[in-house]
Structure 1
């Protein structure tokens, strides 16, 4: 059956439209299962009825005419039960309904499977047979598998609009939603422009050449052309991006250097291989090695290598990409967006981006956040190649894409987008004002930083310190471990920029979805594996060198705080504290006069939640990492779009854990802060304030919004709101209560745009 299934899937995927795909499925399934009838019923959203849309075995004149409600017939029963129905004699079932026009009275046996996509029943796939018989488990499993395949086909047809006209009234489904990963916040309405790769390296054949010098000259010309393209794109973006962010284009230029990818291609050409074949061999080798490492950061580097290879091949083939026409309000869509694609869009045209591959750590996602362009990554179910010219709404805050949006939805989002712009302009006046409630409760707002460009944005928005400086960022943009001197210079720059405000530097936190190209970590389950403090304790030479650099960088400034990630018990903390003490002694012995900085521990795993008091006694402060804590408490990978809707920091279990951490930390006299997406959510920030968190740390973009919200409410109202939501049993109920309360107080201006529509 597996071979048959594979062939059917290939044939269905090659179908030009939904009607053809349905015809292929009913024909091939009927043949594969040796039944007399195979039919597909699809849900018409306007009538709410299941309509016969394709059949082999029943009267084809019944197509589009026969229908039944969810509470009618066996098809309706399959849809409401959301599971297969296997009957030896269908007509004896109390839900059996007879349709004379189908001729189905001749068929006794019935097997139906629901067609479900993202929890939504879209239709029912049915097979029937004259003889009375029970279909066996293998046949049932085969039909369920085909139903799952058909669900994807129908969803893609909805997205591209090809399903229209198939309903009884010729209207069909207008709007379809797809989930991806939140890449850059904000919403956008526009027209999809699909960007396909300029050249296909995979189809380049090997070819021997005699004139090697001519091939080398050809390759060198292509190199210069692509280098010029990269410099021009970087220059064009100079007005929109800071120097540090444009440095991502330097990654491309480095790969074009003779000591890197370009040099390897030259070596292959000198063996007698033509330039295109040599390029394919080198690029494919690099991409394959990166992808086999199964690591998020390295997958993004594979994307960069692949993009460079395609651009070089385009020049080698002298097949310049046909000039694209960028419509107003362009939403760039591609299988794999790259920074170069972003830079090619004319000024003022780009409003949003969607990438099928990639994560929130992608270079293009980093740039999108810096430039304020709403972006969705990891939209794996999106039929991207068929979306060109189709209207889209994207929600970069929730990672949602809506294809073929209706007029009403577009109008709602347009209002929200404009309100968001006005609000952002109005929040600028808050920079010098304190973050305090109407009854005088102060709560410092700190920022999360990584890139040097984050410093300016944080200062422009009135940050009172750095709650999380991600030290892994400087490590990730280098080709080797940075030296102590290099690290010292980077850390000193951060400390000086914020002095005398505190800067909390997290020790190297790699593993999970963050890795280094020169220090690959290969694991089947990286999020539960070798990451954070586990890596650096196993490599004390890395930890000691970094700690020495941090300590030396704070000389004369004394605004450094050191934060230890992924601590799951007291033994790890004891080892880390011992190494910090050792590094401090070494630095002092060398003549550097620095005092021991405050040391804190991150509460990110459930084990640490239950040991907060023990951990707090050993350190100076506690910091909760809300992103990872939510992920581990709920067992949900936040970078996986298939379970993205289950990741919710307003889950009652998360709120209970946070309240426990604050209570236990304060019981030991230790201040406790929180960093992550939750701290930057204005509504959630009110709950954190009420719980007693001493500071909140967030993306600089969200800081004015949180400050505005805090300044509109009293601490007493915030505590009453917390008491109310702590009695609720689901994140949906909690979110709804938050929104309704804020609306009743006239404070709904900062509710997430997607919640408003």
Structure 2
């Protein structure tokens, strides 16, 4: 049985699509176990006439039951034995299924003569995706070996279903996703807000597999674009052929180029693409399918040389795709309200669209603490992250609603659902207008305690929004951003100009410049670092201490920029030892002496250390004794304390800055810093979370730094609570054992004070 299991697993893993994988499982399991029936039910969202969705198990493959019922048999989670397996998320093994109280008879399915029943849930990372069922004519329970066999295959099938969901193939397979009807997909909260918009789907890479389906508005224009791209590729091959012949002096090696050139002339390959366009596909999807068809022909050939030509066909298709993309980008017509949607979106994708039309962001990967979500909060637009179940290849130009509070995306809302979402959007607009009125008001609690409100920025263009919301300083200037957008290290003069503008803009307020923090998930293209574990490697202060020429250049630029302003604060990232802090301070003093000799007296800056690794938490007393201020970076601190990569979709949902361990660590830092009379700032995303801000107020944090988009909400919270109440809530939170308990405690507190609209949709 083990050998058969291996064969089935291999066959499923090589399946070209989900439909084939389901059929293979049903056929092979029935044969290997010698049972009467094997069926696969897949869980999908069904939408009723009121626009409400309900999880439903749909028969998608069967060997032994009536094949005409595939796609027709539906079970709710409260219906039948199949629903019971999914609801409990555990297998059920019965000698006589008909005697079980949950048994439900279905007309025309043909299961009357079957008694033995084994139902196994198909689970992926704790989420039930479907149910795998085997049945026998005789009354008998299935053996332990048979149970193990089916459980193993259910696990394999879970991966196939999850992959199909992420690629959009799932909805075509289950044949239930009429996108003219509403449906919703849930991910993780990214950036607060609710907004209607039009989906613009961007592929994360130039691969044929990532091409989405899209309707054709002008068949003639699509065919023209195809021929323009093909001609451009053909010209490239002609040039390559000539260049290669000049190098080798032989024509023999040019046979492949000749073959490509012939394919790109009028022939079956080009004609197959044209036919697909004429049938309603846009050029890129037509190319994708034609390449797959032709590559499959070569792969099936027994001759090894010819079978390997399948990859040549794919490479040819990718070249054509590059040309199509370039032309499409030039002619792109953008909707007025863009919701940017994609698989692995990053900040660089924002450059591909007119940002003045951007109203929302949806990514199938990432979490609320990923850089994309942080950027969305800085722009003040809603974002949903890790929404893995969206059919990307069918979303383009559909109306979508993004609920960034809950991480929910609704497609093509109708009826009462649309009315409810419209109401929420209107209330969100009212709240935004009210928050704008707080600009010139202090963040002062009801019992008269002021909180300094600063902003996190990465580019000079971020400063205008920061002033608009009434920021009282820059709590974190990410100096690595100007480094990342260049092709080489910026000169001392360039850096001086950048830092001077920031310091002058907030000339009467503190400006915290963090020294270069690259490595991990923040690489420099011109300074590549290759490590097995970059988050635990050469990054932050470790890198610049090993490269004093980079460090001193930056420090000199900061000090020169501060002359006559006296508002410079220098923040040192990734400090994990007293030695690192003292060595860095030594370089700061060296740079200060050099700059003072060069341009005259420059006031010494205030020096701070970031607390973002566990080692620093336990050394706060010693670090604070050597600093003017401490700044807690809650993003990395949470990541390192919980051992969770916040950008890893498999564990991102477990990343939570309200985890009791994180709260206790932050409380310890405040206590030890206070004993040294050292100021404490918080510059991570926790500072921009209304729930987190309450805890930080209770800890008597000196200043909070966040994105400009978050600042008005946090100011509203602080102005509507007393510090005394915040301290009481902190005490209760420190007694909680789960992050969910902390969240429930703080959510109830805000709701009771009429502040629920800051953490959810609606007032």
TM-based fold match above 0.5 = yes
2:428 paired residue number = 420
1:189 paired residue number = 196
Cα 1:732–1:341 change in 2 (3 A) is closer
CA contact (8 A) 1:159 1:175 kept: no
1:127 paired residue number = 134
* 1:179 matches 2:190: no
Determine helix, strand or coil for the equivalent of 1:432.
Answer: coil
Q: Which moved more, 1:744-753 or 1:348-357?
A: 348-357
Cα 1:734–1:10 change in 2 (3 A) is same
Which residue of 536, 543, 556 corresponds with 1:528? 536
Cα 1:580–1:122 change in 2 (3 A) is same
CA contact (8 A) 1:464 1:501 kept: yes
2:312 paired residue number = none
Find the aligned partners of 1:114 and 1:438 in 2 and give their Cα distance.
53
Aligned residues: 657
2:160 paired residue number = 149
CA contact (8 A) 1:116 1:151 kept: no
1:550 paired residue number = 558
Find the aligned partners of 1:618 and 1:341 in 2 and give their Cα distance.
42
What aligned pairs does 1:149-548 form with structure 2 within 5 A after superposition? 149-150=160-161, 153=164, 160=171, 163=174, 175-179=183-187, 182=190, 185-194=192-201, 313-314=323-324, 331-335=339-343, 351-356=359-364, 372-376=380-384, 379-388=387-396, 390-396=398-404, 399-403=407-411, 407-548=415-556
Which residue of 672, 692, 699 corresponds with 1:664? 672
Find the aligned partners of 2:385 and 2:77 in 1 and give their Cα distance.
38
Instruction: Give, in angstroms, the shift of residue 377 of structure 1.
Output: 5.6
Which residue of 687, 702, 706 corresponds with 1:698? 706
Q: Which moved more, 1:485-494 or 1:633-642?
A: 633-642
Give RMSD over aligned pairs: 4.7
Which residue of 570, 579, 583 corresponds with 2:587? 579
Which residue of 711, 722, 725 corresponds with 1:717? 725
1:37 paired residue number = 37
Instruction: Give, in angstroms, the shift of residue 309 of structure 1.
Output: 8.3
Which residue of 110, 123, 139 corresponds with 1:116? 123
Find the aligned partners of 2:74 and 2:474 in 1 and give their Cα distance.
65
Instruction: Give, in angstroms, the shift of residue 613 of structure 1.
Output: 0.9
Instruction: Give, in angstroms, the shift of residue 560 of structure 1.
Output: 0.7
Cα 1:712–1:524 change in 2 (3 A) is same
Cα 1:515–1:342 change in 2 (3 A) is closer
* 1:5 matches 2:14: no
CA contact (8 A) 1:191 1:389 kept: yes
How far does the alpha carbon of each residue in 1:547-577 deviate from its partner, in whole angstroms, 9 at most, with x for none? 1221222122121111111112222222222
CA contact (8 A) 2:608 2:627 kept: yes
Instruction: Give, in angstroms, the shift of residue 3 of structure 1.
Output: 5.8
TM normalised by structure 2 equals 0.73
2:735 paired residue number = 727
TM normalised by structure 1 equals 0.74
Cα 1:522–1:60 change in 2 (3 A) is same
CA contact (8 A) 2:504 2:565 kept: yes
Find the aligned partners of 1:524 and 1:172 in 2 and give their Cα distance.
46
Cα 1:196–1:268 change in 2 (3 A) is farther
CA contact (8 A) 1:70 1:79 kept: no
Find the aligned partners of 1:347 and 1:589 in 2 and give their Cα distance.
45
Instruction: Give, in angstroms, the shift of residue 277 of structure 1.
Output: 9.3
Cα 1:360–1:266 change in 2 (3 A) is farther
Which residue of 613, 621, 638 corresponds with 2:646? 638
Find the aligned partners of 1:646 and 1:190 in 2 and give their Cα distance.
29
* 1:569 matches 2:580: no
Which residue of 614, 621, 628 corresponds with 1:613? 621
Find the aligned partners of 1:343 and 1:574 in 2 and give their Cα distance.
40
CA contact (8 A) 1:113 1:147 kept: no
Q: Which moved more, 1:682-691 or 1:64-73?
A: 64-73
Find the aligned partners of 1:315 and 1:690 in 2 and give their Cα distance.
53
Find the aligned partners of 1:667 and 1:598 in 2 and give their Cα distance.
19
Find the aligned partners of 1:604 and 1:198 in 2 and give their Cα distance.
33
1:673 paired residue number = 681
Find the aligned partners of 2:601 and 2:240 in 1 and give their Cα distance.
52
Instruction: Give, in angstroms, the shift of residue 397 of structure 1.
Output: 5.4
How far does the alpha carbon of each residue in 1:472-508 deviate from its partner, in whole angstroms, 9 at most, with x for none? 0111111111122222221122111211211111111
Q: Which moved more, 1:374-383 or 1:666-675?
A: 374-383
Cα 1:742–1:81 change in 2 (3 A) is closer
Gaps of 5+ in 2: 47-52, 211-227, 246-253, 262-317
Cα 1:98–1:135 change in 2 (3 A) is farther
Determine helix, strand or coil for the equivalent of 1:636.
Answer: coil
How far does the alpha carbon of each residue in 1:668-688 deviate from its partner, in whole angstroms, 9 at most, with x for none? 110101012111123422221
Find the aligned partners of 2:448 and 2:152 in 1 and give their Cα distance.
64
Cα 1:433–1:310 change in 2 (3 A) is farther
Determine helix, strand or coil for the equivalent of 1:700.
Answer: coil
Determine helix, strand or coil for the equivalent of 2:576.
Answer: coil
CA contact (8 A) 2:366 2:649 kept: no
1:297 paired residue number = none
Determine helix, strand or coil for the equivalent of 1:623.
Answer: strand
Find the aligned partners of 2:73 and 2:374 in 1 and give their Cα distance.
52
Instruction: Give, in angstroms, the shift of residue 590 of structure 1.
Output: 3.7
CA contact (8 A) 2:120 2:150 kept: no
Instruction: Give, in angstroms, the shift of residue 37 of structure 1.
Output: 2.1
Instruction: Give, in angstroms, the shift of residue 337 of structure 1.
Output: 6.1
Cα 1:681–1:92 change in 2 (3 A) is closer
Cα 1:645–1:415 change in 2 (3 A) is farther
Gaps of 5+ in 1: 204-220, 226-262, 279-307
Q: Which moved more, 1:598-607 or 1:76-85?
A: 76-85
